[in-house]
Amino acid sequence: MEYIRVRGNGPLHGTVTISGAKNAALPILAASLLADGEVVLDQVPRLSDIEIMVEVLKALHAEVEYLDDETLRIDASKVDVTETPGDLMNRMRASFVVMGPLLSRLGEAHTSMPGGCNIGERPVDLHLKGFQALGAEIDEEPGAVSAKAPQGGLKGGRVYMDFPSVGATQNIMMAATLADGETIIENAAKEPEIVDLANFLNKMGARVRGAGTSNIYIEGVKKLHGAKHTIIPDRIEALTFLIAAAMTGGEVRVENVLSDHIRPILAKLGEVGASLEETDDDAIIVRSNGRLKATKIRTLPYPGFPTDAQAQFMALMTIAQGQSHVEETVFENRFMHVKELSRMGALIVTDGNQASIRGVDRLKGAKVNATDLRAGAALVLAGLVAEGETQVFNVFHLDRGYDRFEEKLRGLGADVERFSE
Ligand code: EPZ
């Protein structure tokens, strides 16, 4: 069994370069199914989730190849399969966003219902509501779902998102690009990954307006052609390193980060006592003496505090002086890291979606289990400041969303190494 060994090794120092955004690359890879030409994507992160999406595209008879370590070439001209392989969907629920492109381009899409995962039940009702607003007929069986466009193809429609779901906004936006007429998505998600997807779609000849606001307008077109695109930097990877540096005390330059994508984190790191300098070449320098003050966070859809930063920030709060507070409003079960942090001596009490954290002087190294992607990152960060050795198991969670995580941390002076037992 693989585990990551972390030893508290004092302040982090140096420079780390952020990779492309997983949560932009995944929908953009799915969107390449809409084009009957060649797509070239640059700054694609090397992650297991990306490998799964590549397998999905190949299973649908798209050509996919790496031109270099982080550049992918996709040609979906010959895509003729409308069924997403169930085993791949079960391995990565985010592959559900291939439904919109398949439905729009080929008139139908069939896939297994994505399982929930441990952070929540993860329904897809808003995705299906959007497809129906475009005229699709939905057929749900236990564990499977099919969507079929009407004769003549999808028609533009209007859909209100009961919750600004990221995946549903992406799926509907993609389905609407080849529909006949205009589609309006109200109360849409506003994440930077939505904007990056819209920019890519428009490069392929789509007509998407308003991405990044609550109302997105898509004017359907007949066809989409190939395009080249560079994926935006991963804001969640960036904030993970900023939090790590604030916790250990020290000075770290995080390169390839767009500050506007992580305003809440920058504000909260300032509140707890770190100092942040935004450079004019897409870098942020974080400086900290490691003695941090308590604060409170409430996760919200963008532009609020991101739920994907909640676990990592809670790790910081375990050693911040005073009583901190966390409210998780996006997912119903995203506190699995609490039990693991407590094994390291953290003082955390939860009540439903609220957690109270009393800072301690020092955590103690322990054997802990990553329960999901961001919880795994939080445990590694906790190990950086703990006394003695921490072993984080189930590291496959980390490999889903962090490209060369240990290598990048070692580059900043951390004592972090992967072992197989
Ligand atoms: C995306 O998931 C991200 N994943 C998640 O990142 C991220 O946590 C999440 O957005 C929120 O920002 C990818 O982009 C691949 P949602 P997604 O649909 O699209 C409810 C990570 O760590 N909902 O915005 O699945 C749902 O239950 C991952 O990188 C419905 O009720 O998130 C949840 O409570 C974890 N019905 C809330 O919306 C629906 O049809 C947010 O889900 C869809 C969602």
State pLDDT tens for residues 159-186.
999 999 999 999 999 999 999 999 999 9
Q: In this predicted structure, what is the pLDDT of residue 118?
A: 79
The answer on pLDDT for 116 being more than 70 is: no
b/e map 63-78, b = 16+ CB within 10 Å: ebeeeeebebbbbbee
User: Is residue 231 a contact partner of residue 59, using CB atoms and an 8 Å limit?
Assistant: no
| Antiparallel, parallel or unpaired: β 38-42 and 228-230 | parallel
The dihedral built from the CA positions of residue 213, 286, 412 and 9, taken in this order, carries a sign that is: negative
The answer to whether the CB of 397 is under 6 A from ligand 1 is no
Please give the distance, rounded to the nearest whole angstrom, from the Cα atom of residue 142 to the centre of ligand 1. 22
Determine the atom of ligand 1 nearest the C-alpha atom of 119: 35
Cα 280 to ligand 1 centre (Å): 32
Crossing angle of helices 235-248 and 263-272, in 10° steps, is: 10
Q: 91 pLDDT band (50/70/90 cuts)? A: confident
pLDDT in tens, 277-308: 999 999 999 999 999 999 999 999 999 999 99
Annotation says 402 is catalytic? no
Q: Is the CB of 303 under 6 A from ligand 1?
A: no
CB-based burial label for 291 (10 Å; 0-12, 13-18, 19+):
exposed
- Answer yes or no: is the C-beta of 317 below 6 A from any ligand 1 atom: no
Q: Is the CB of 126 under 6 A from ligand 1?
A: yes
Helix (H) or strand (E) holding 121: none
**Among residues 59, 106, 117, 221, which one is catalytic?**
117
125 ligand 1 Cβ < 6 A: yes
Is there an atom of ligand 1 within 6 Å of 114 CB? no
The rounded distance, in Å, linking the Cα atoms of 350 and 357 is 9
Kindly give the interhelix angle for 99-106 and 22-31, rounded to the nearest 10 degrees: 20
DSSP H helical segments within 344-415, as ranges?
Answer: 373-385, 396-401, 405-410
- Position 122 confidence tier, pLDDT thresholds 50, 70, 90: confident
Evaluate if residue 381 carries a pLDDT over 90: yes
For residue 33, report the distance from its CA to the centre of ligand 1, in Å.
22
What percentage of the chain has pLDDT greater than the value 90? 93
- CA triple 298-301-307, angle to 5 deg: 55
For the chain, the residue count is 421
Q: What is the pTM of this model?
A: 0.97
Whether 75 lines ligand 1, by a CB cut-off of 6 Å, is no
Protein residue closest via CA to atom 14 of ligand 1: 23
Beta strands in 289-342 (DSSP E): 296-298, 323-327
Identify the pLDDT of residue 86.
86
Task: Select from 26, 132, 163 the residue to mutate for testing ligand 1; criterion: most ligand atoms less than 8 Å from CB.
Answer: 163
Q: How far apart (Å, rounded) are the C-alpha atoms in residues 370 and 378?
A: 9
